[in-house]
Amino acid sequence: MKIALPLLIAFGLAGAAVAQDAGKSVWQGIYTSEQADRGAGVYAQRCGACHGAALNGTGEAPPLIGGEFVSHWDTMTVGDLYDRVRTTMPQNDPMSMTREEYADVLAFLLKNNGFPAGSQPMDKRSEVLATIGITAEKPASSGG
């Protein structure tokens, strides 16, 4: 994904970083490519009108890609991000999609921000996603 390249450059080389002590990391492949592809379709229909097809944001809707976005969620969990999106988006009709659709959209966002895909689809339970840490910098020990 061409769009994610600057971030990979920015964070991929960043060396040692603070990893979550326990639980999983968003760097460990917590969604599948198929899920992200599905998420792209949902995003285009339900999110892109405000956040832009390339996730750059328009007007008051912030970009969902880039260092500022990732920094904003640093040390939070995927559960935090999932529930923020699920309970407030789309802004004019929150909680109007299925949990699977929200998970797909999240997979799409993670992919675009340079977080790797894996073999298992993203869980749709907030409490499980709350055990997966978001770190802006790629941990040195992580494979992805």
Partner 1 sequence: MKIISTLPLSVAAALMLTTSALAQTPGKEGVAAARTTNGVANWTTYNADLKGSRYSPLDQINPDNFKDLEIAWRFKTDILGSRPEYKLESTPLAVDGVIYTTGGTRRAVVALNGATGELLWQYAMHEGKRSAESPRALSGRGLSYWTDGTRRRILYVTIGYRLVSLDADTGRPDPDFGTNGVVDLKTDFDQDLGDLDTGEVGVHSAPAVSGNTIIIGAAFREGFTPKTHNNTKGYVRAFDVRTGKRMWTFHTVPKKGEFGYETWLNNSADVNGNTGVWTQVSVDEDLGLAYLAVESPTSDFFGGKRPGPNLFGNSLVAVDLKTGERRWHFQLIHHEIWDLDNSSAPLLMDVTVDGKPRKVVGLPSKQGFFYVFDRATGVPVWPIKETKVAKGNVPGEWYSPTQPIPSKPPVYARNGVEEKDLIDFTPDMKKKALELTSNYVLGPVYTPPIVSTPEKFGVINNWAQGGTNWPGGSFDPETGIAYVYACGACISSTGLLPPPAGLSDIPLVVGVAGQPVVMIKGPGEGAGADSPAPSTPVGASSGPPRLAVDGLPLVKPPYGTISAIDVNNGTIKWQVAHGETPDFVRNHPVIKAMGGIPRTGQSTYQIGTLVTKGLVIAGENQFTRTEDRPRGAMLRAYDKQSGKEVGAVFMPSTQSGSPMTYMVNGKQYIIVPTSGGNASGEFLAYALPSKR
CB atoms within 10 A of CB 110: 26
The least distance separating partner 1 from the CB of residue 21, rounded to whole angstroms, comes to 13
Cis preceding linkage at 90, omega within 30 = yes
**Among the candidate windows 25-33, 58-66, 103-111, 116-124, which touches partner 1 by CB under 8 A?**
58-66
Give the separation between CA 59 and CA 93, rounded to whole angstroms. Answer: 18
Give the separation between CA 139 and CA 131, rounded to whole angstroms. Answer: 17
Residue 29 in contact with partner 1, rule: CB under 8 A: no
Among 25, 35, 40, 73, binds partner 1 (CB under 8 A): 73
Establish how many alpha carbons lie within 13 A of residue 123's alpha carbon, considering only the half-sphere containing its beta carbon: 13
Residue 36 in contact with partner 1, rule: CB under 8 A: no
The least distance separating partner 1 from the CB of residue 94, rounded to whole angstroms, comes to 6
Tokens 């968003």 correspond to 26
Binding stretches for partner 1 (CB under 8 A): 3, 6-7, 9-11, 13-14, 44, 47-50, 52-54, 56-61, 63, 65-68, 70-76, 80-81, 83-84, 87-88, 91-94, 136-137
